[in-house]
Structures are given as C-alpha cells and as structure tokens.
C-alpha cells in the first residue's frame, strides 16, 4: 500500500461496476437546474451492477 498526502492507495484493484452514465448525466443536469432555480435538490443514488471479468 502506498500513501500520498491525505489518501492512500492499495495495489489491489477494485471490482468493475457497470454504471448508468446516461441517468447519472441527466440527474447531474437536473440538480444543477434545481440549484440555479433556488430549489433544494434531492439526492439520487443510481444503481450499479457488478461486472464479472473473464479473468476472474
């Protein structure tokens, strides 16, 4: 494990996850527009799906 400033990094790779990038982008735009309009944005946690690698 190596350390750099306030964060540390392990040599073990995190498992890959599939993320719905279209939904994430849409939600980011909605939150930004809510903020611009003076509204309190609601938090949304999009689902992620683990991806099993062939090499695993």
Task: Please tell me whether residue 8 adopts helix, strand or coil conformation.
Answer: strand
- What's the pLDDT score for residue 39? 93
The model's pTM is: 0.52
Instruction: State pLDDT tens for residues 1-42.
Output: 444 555 555 555 666 777 888 888 888 899 999 999 999 988
Count other C-beta atoms under 10 Å from residue 43's C-beta: 6
- What's the pLDDT score for residue 11? 54
What is the arithmetic mean of pLDDT over 39-49? 81
- What's the pLDDT score for residue 6? 53
From 46, 3, 42, 7, select the one nearest 24 (Cα to Cα).
46
């Amino acid at each position: 494990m190596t350390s750099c400033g306030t964060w540390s990094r392990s040599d073990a790779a995190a498992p890959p996850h599939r993320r719905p990038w279209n939904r994430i982008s849409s939600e980011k735009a909605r939150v930004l527009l809510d903020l611009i309009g003076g509204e309190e944005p609601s938090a949304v946690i999009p689902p992620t799906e683990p991806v099993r690698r062939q090499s695993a």
